[in-house]
Amino acid sequence: MCGIIGCVGRGERTADTLVSGLETLEYRGYDSAGIALGGSKLSVCKAAGEIAKLKTALGSRSMSGEPGIGHTRWSTHGPPTDENAHPHADCTGDVAVVHNGIIENYQELRAELDEHTFTSETDTEVIPHLIEAELAAGTDPEDAFRAAIARLEGSYAVVCLIAGCDAIFGTRKDSPLVLGIGDDTPDGQALFVASDVPAFREYTDRVVYLDDGEFVRLDDEWVVTDSDGVVREKSVETVDWDPEETGKSGYEHFMLKEIHEQPRALRQCLQGRVDELGGSVTVDELDNLAPTGVQFVACGTSYHAALYGAQLFREQGIPAQAFLASEYATAVPPIGNDLVVAITQSGETADTLSALREASRRGAETLAVTNTVGSTVARESDRKLFIRAGPEIGVAATKTFASQLLALNLLVLATTDASAGEVVPALRDLPGQTQALLDDSGAEAVAEQFYDAPAYFFIGRRYQFPVALEGALKLKEISYKHAEGFAAGELKHGPLALVDDRTPVFAVVTGDDEIATKTVGNIKEVEARDAPVVAVTDRQNDAAAYADHVLELPETHPHVGAVLANVQLQLVAYHIANRLGRPIDKPRNLAKSVTVE
């Protein structure tokens, strides 16, 4: 895995179009890159490292041809080397393939292809050799591609070039692939295929989402067929965001830009769903939904949102649990009549999709909470609730997490007997309060104080417990520092042994109820061990009195306070990572959309 782009109809601009598309996909995370150009003979250029190294390699040689395919790789089989980079070719050099996913039976296929010469350690390389064998047997290119794909087991999005053929062939199974339908040009209609829309959004806003098992051929037209070659009618949809939204807009990093985009993202999530005067919430997608039990499935940041959502439902007397999707898919608990809610920013997270599909097989009603219209999870769920955060480029989730928390509030208010009257005013004020916090945060000064600490703890209770987990995750993702989040009461059950005067403890505490009082007690426990304390608080409690530093929060409803606390912790993580000179938008070993289990 990670990023795919292919195009036809771009003529002499093909190579530049591919490289530009790969640069746009850098946010997904990668460790090598390459392109292949078609014609009577294929030209392939690839290099380990950043796209800048690919551009250097391209500058030292003459490459031309059309159509073309490109790839940024995130290593799964074999380290990041020139040989393991995509595209991969067959023995003759007449077939080139790029692939996201994992071919589970590649070792058996490789053994079967023992007369072929392999030059990489990847699972992907079996695909061009399978196609080569079919072509040698007299099979035409498109049927050769189909026959090779039929041999694969696992997950994949595959795009292929064959010498002497003016077409690109592609297909998907459990890994995203989307078409871009461009305008007519002197070189023909510009057509694109990619793992994500931003790869070609500069050229067109018209897209077609492929479903699992579908094949596409792009030449002077686009044709989508099923596995038997029967033509599928597909709708062309319009992407409703501007290509400039995927730029940095003057910010040093995408992550910082997206942190600052949160007020707008929150407004978009609320728009048309909250009646501020009437104090009610109406979400058309959730009409007549009244769950008696809820199971959330999610991974990473989305799992932290799931923990928060489960807490909201339980407070309304509805049994709710949050499950790590990777565990749920392999050991599904009894579902009964529970609603199964899959939370995934991209809508393509492999573990979450597997959990959702298992729940569907067992007859559960399913709901997707996602940012991506047209994603696999949105298409396969019975219902969908879009968080409307807009495109997020930074690998570390920021505005999508805030929008997930807000969307889960709307989900609970729209489907239960929860009183919206108390929460709606706080929801209304949330975007403005977030902006005020961003304008006057002390996070950079705190980061400067503690950027060189060997480890960090984050603690919170109730709604703030998932925020503590997320704060720790954000810091370790982009700073490479050891950070852990805990339910505040759990420190004394083991982790307190790790606390000393070099271990900053970020304590999230809002309100003045019993929960706040208990969290202040936990702050005293770490203070007694000489740990520096950073209180993230609205000062309605005594937390500030026992803290070395305070990150201020405005007073608001407890549900909403979690969103605001999270913004402060995002800024802390960003400024620590920036102070350490980390590649914030592209942290090592991580990918934006994890499409393998």
Strand pairing category for 154-162 and 168-173:
antiparallel
- Whether the pLDDT of residue 67 is over 90: the answer is yes
> Could you tell me if 26 and 157 lie in one domain?
yes
> Could you tell me if 274 and 230 lie in one domain?
no
Helix, coil or strand: residue 323: strand
Tokens read off for 550: 């305070």
Model pLDDT, residue 325: 94
> Could you tell me if 455 and 579 lie in one domain?
yes
Instruction: Report how far residue 256's alpha carbon sits from residue 174's, in angstroms, rounded to the nearest whole number.
Output: 31
pLDDT (tens digit per residue) in 559-597:
999 999 999 999 999 999 999 999 998 888 776 666 555
> Could you tell me if 319 and 447 lie in one domain?
no
- Whether the pLDDT of residue 176 is over 90: the answer is no
Instruction: Please give the sequence-ordered ranges of beta strands (E in DSSP) within 306-407, or none if there are none.
Output: 320-324, 339-344, 365-370, 383-386
The answer to whether the beta carbons of residues 65 and 43 sit under 8 Å apart is: yes
Instruction: Report how far residue 266's alpha carbon sits from residue 409's, in angstroms, rounded to the nearest whole number.
Output: 12
Region 93-97: what's the mean pLDDT? Answer: 95
| Domain count within the chain | 3
Model pLDDT, residue 188: 72
> Could you tell me if 446 and 587 lie in one domain?
yes
Burial 492-521 (b: 16+ CB within 10 A, else e): eeeebeebeeebbbbbbbbbeeebbeebbe
Under the banding of pLDDT at 50, 70 and 90, the label for residue 197 is: confident
> Could you tell me if 271 and 409 lie in one domain?
yes
List, by residue number, the catalytic residues: 2, 592
The answer to whether the beta carbons of residues 344 and 594 sit under 8 Å apart is: no
pLDDT (tens digit per residue) in 453-490:
999 999 999 999 999 999 999 999 999 999 999 998 88
How far are the Cα atoms of 120, 266, 528 from residue 77, in angstroms, in the given order?
9, 39, 48
Provide the CATH number for the domain around residue 366.
3.40.50.10490
Instruction: Report how far residue 597's alpha carbon sits from residue 594's, in angstroms, rounded to the nearest whole number.
Output: 8
Instruction: Report how far residue 146's alpha carbon sits from residue 532's, in angstroms, rounded to the nearest whole number.
Output: 61
Dihedral over Cα of 202, 207, 212, 217: its sign: negative
Sheet strand arrangement including 95-103: 88-89, 95-103, 154-162, 168-173, 215-218, 222-225
pLDDT (tens digit per residue) in 210-240:
988 999 999 989 999 998 899 999 989 888 7
> Could you tell me if 15 and 137 lie in one domain?
yes
The verdict on whether omega for the bond into residue 243 sits within 30 degrees of 0, i.e. cis, is no
Domain end position, chosen among 402, 436, 470: 436
- Whether the pLDDT of residue 115 is over 80: the answer is yes
Cα torsion through 539, 540, 544, 549, rounded to 10: -30
> Could you tell me if 373 and 458 lie in one domain?
no
Instruction: Report how far residue 410's alpha carbon sits from residue 402's, in angstroms, rounded to the nearest whole number.
Output: 13
pLDDT (tens digit per residue) in 326-345:
999 778 888 989 999 999 99
Task: Give the 3-state secondary structure of 45-99.
Answer: EEEECCHHHHHHHHHCCCCCCCCEEEEEECCCCCCCCCCCCCCEECCCCCEEEEE
pLDDT (tens digit per residue) in 406-461:
999 999 999 998 887 788 999 999 999 999 999 989 999 999 999 999 999 999 99
Model pLDDT, residue 412: 95
Instruction: Report how far residue 380's alpha carbon sits from residue 155's, in angstroms, rounded to the nearest whole number.
Output: 17
Model pLDDT, residue 341: 97
**CA-only gyration radius of the chain, Å:** 25
Domain end position, chosen among 420, 436, 452: 436
Under the banding of pLDDT at 50, 70 and 90, the label for residue 38 is: very high
Instruction: Report how far residue 506's alpha carbon sits from residue 485's, in angstroms, rounded to the nearest whole number.
Output: 9
- Whether the pLDDT of residue 315 is over 80: the answer is yes
- Whether the pLDDT of residue 172 is over 90: the answer is yes
Output 536 or 60, whichever has higher pLDDT. Answer: 536
Model pLDDT, residue 28: 65
- What's the chain's average pLDDT? 90
Model pLDDT, residue 563: 95
Model pLDDT, residue 198: 85
> Could you tell me if 261 and 381 lie in one domain?
yes
Least confident of 340-344, 543-547, 551-555: 543-547
Domain end position, chosen among 411, 436, 461: 436
Instruction: Report how far residue 524's alpha carbon sits from residue 242's, in angstroms, rounded to the nearest whole number.
Output: 49
Model pLDDT, residue 81: 87
> Could you tell me if 503 and 404 lie in one domain?
no
Model pLDDT, residue 43: 92
Helix, coil or strand: residue 100: strand
Provide the CATH number for the domain around residue 19.
3.60.20.10
Model pLDDT, residue 189: 87
Cα torsion through 554, 555, 560, 564, rounded to 10: 20
Region 265-286: what's the mean pLDDT? Answer: 87
> Could you tell me if 469 and 383 lie in one domain?
no
The answer to whether the beta carbons of residues 215 and 170 sit under 8 Å apart is: yes
Report the share of the chain in percent with pLDDT over 70: 97
Element containing residue 194 per DSSP (H, E):
strand 188-194
Sheet strand arrangement including 549-552: 482-487, 455-460, 505-509, 533-537, 549-552
Model pLDDT, residue 333: 86
Nearest to 74 by CA among 30, 27, 15, 106: 30
The answer to whether the beta carbons of residues 540 and 555 sit under 8 Å apart is: yes
Tokens read off for 141: 């290119």
Region 9-25: what's the mean pLDDT? Answer: 90
Dihedral over Cα of 486, 489, 491, 493: its sign: negative
556: domain range? 441-597
Report the share of the chain in percent with pLDDT over 90: 64
Least confident of 57-66, 176-185, 469-478, 585-594: 585-594
> Could you tell me if 144 and 77 lie in one domain?
yes
Residue 324, φ and ψ in degrees, nearest 5: -65, 125
What amino acid occupies position 445? A
Model pLDDT, residue 184: 76
Burial 151-162 (b: 16+ CB within 10 A, else e): bbebbbbbbbbb
pLDDT (tens digit per residue) in 362-380:
999 999 999 988 888 999 9
